[in-house]
Amino acid sequence: MTPFGWWVALYFALASLAAGAGGAACVQLWRSGNKRSLREVRISLLIALVAITLGSAALVLDLEKPMEFYRIFSSFNPNSWIARGSRIISAFGLIVAGLLLLTFSSRKTLSLEVIALGILLSLLSVAVAVYPSLVLRQSIGRPLWSTSLLPALFFVGALHVGATIARSPRALELAIGAVELLLFAAYARSIGPRHLFPQTSAYALVALAALGAWLVPAALLLATPANASRWHWPKVVFVFAGSFGIRSAILLAGQSVNG
Amino acid sequence: MTAPKTAQKKPDVTAPLPWERVGPEYERTLARAGMVVDLARCVGCHSCSVACKTEHQVPLGNFRQRVHYLQRPTELQMSFVPMLCMHCQDAPCIESCPTSALGKLADGRVVVDQAKCNGTKACVPACPYGAISINRDTGRAEKCDFCVQRTRVGLEPACVDACPTTALRFGDMDDPNDPVAQYASDKKATAYKADAKTRPSVLYVGHTKWMEERAGSIARTDGDDGVVYE
């Protein structure tokens, strides 16, 4: 039985996108408060909001009883990382929405409320990025998920997305991408290639394709001039695809061995 | 000197017959419900898993209990390993369930509250024994509960009742005077997959490491050994 399927893989990727976009918005907030910066902040916040909303919808659709999703809030188990995560993403969504509204009411200068929410958002972005890996680590019946590499990999993955959205310096983007790839390679090595893609099916092929897509941003970075903006959003899409591929591969691998 | 006459005990004709000893008044109060599985006695007849499926109307493809057929590595013989929920004292499924649908009764057995379960499936990978599955009909988690509805009226769990070789024994693992606890102690019964550190209440007599490697989970199919049973 594969308890965590494609909806969960999609959620993991969207959570990474949301966390990265939230982090990017925080970085952009710390830059000068001119109109252009606020516009970029709003775009990042909008991406974060849409991503976390779609991700939450994916989680609800994954439930065997989607209409009873509210039980996660009404019957709360504080020890469950899924229950904790539901609160984290709820708070994240509210903060992002609140910050987005505040940026529309701000003019050139950043208000104290915006700065305070920005600090909260940066903390929640880290939580949103990392907690899915803790959900996997709580599944002790799947030994291939019991590794400390996963929290680091998930965090750096969100960082990669955020760095791409925030138009970071090329060297920084390349470095973060390289670290993500190295962490994934380390995880693959720790579980063994036999478990990495255990199913020769469309599932594994999709994960492979997404991973391949991940290499495209690196190629784009190297091949295009530093200030080429027309590749910016395609690059974000490819990084997101790579994030989806990595998380799908981790889910596939972990479910290949039980007990 | 004549020997004293020993009083002959007359049978109590007013006592209920075995099939009449059913009712809430016959419920045993257990400190910690548990089971001992004696692998030397198990002959792989599957009476236990059939009884379980019948008792709980478990749908096709779901298993609350399963008997693994394992070919021994060095002999041309088979070993049979019944696996079920271990009702762990440190149950990881309870930790992982976000809706608190999994919990413990007073006697320590782990049960699913069907009213609270919404099919998150977090419990399925959390269990190191693969004891939890999602019921294909209800969409909610399903697992062995030591037949609560039977033990509450003084009956044994269905699998224990059905086992022809008494390979399965149900009792109070925390009561040193309980025959099952004594049996576990005498036979040096140990936990299956003790390295999971969940402190299971189901102990096994005669299990070995290679059994754990080949049949570590209810969910794992026998096909791994080239012997397909179901």
Q: Which of A74, A254, A259 sits opposite B216 (nearest CB)?
A: A259
Q: How far apart are CA A14 and CA A186, in angstroms?
A: 23
On chain B, the residues whose CB falls within 8 A of the CB of A71 are: 99, 101, 116-118
A183-216 confidence digits (pLDDT tens): 988 998 888 877 777 666 666 777 777 777 777 8
A168-187 confidence digits (pLDDT tens): 888 888 889 889 989 988 99
Type of residue numbered A14: L
Share of chain A above pLDDT 90, in %: 42
Q: Give alpha helix (H) positions in B36-141.
A: 47-56, 92-96, 123-126
Nearest to B96 by CA among A111, A224, A145: A145
Q: How far apart are CA A126 and CA A155, in angstroms?
A: 7
- For residue A32, the model assigns a pLDDT of 55
Q: What is the pTM of this model?
A: 0.87
Q: How far apart are CA B49 and CA B53, in angstroms?
A: 6
Residues paired with B203 in a beta bridge: B36, B191
Q: How far apart are CA A196 and CA A187, in angstroms?
A: 9
Contact, A249 vs A196, CB < 8 A? yes
**Inter-chain residue contact A75 with B116, CB threshold 8 Å:** yes
Q: How far is A180 from chain B (nearest CA, A)?
A: 26
Mean pLDDT of A152-173: 90
* H or E stretch covering A196: helix A193-196
Q: Could you tell me if B217 lies within 8 Å of chain A, comparing CB atoms?
A: yes
Q: Could you tell me if B216 lies within 8 Å of chain A, comparing CB atoms?
A: yes
Q: Could you tell me if B219 lies within 8 Å of chain A, comparing CB atoms?
A: yes
Contact, A186 vs A211, CB < 8 A? no
Confidence at B114, pLDDT banded by 50, 70, 90: very high
**Inter-chain residue contact A3 with B121, CB threshold 8 Å:** yes
Structure tokens at A214: 């991940």
CA torsion, ordered B111, B114, B120, B122, to nearest 10 deg: 0
Residue B132 half-sphere exposure toward CB, CA atoms < 13 A: 30
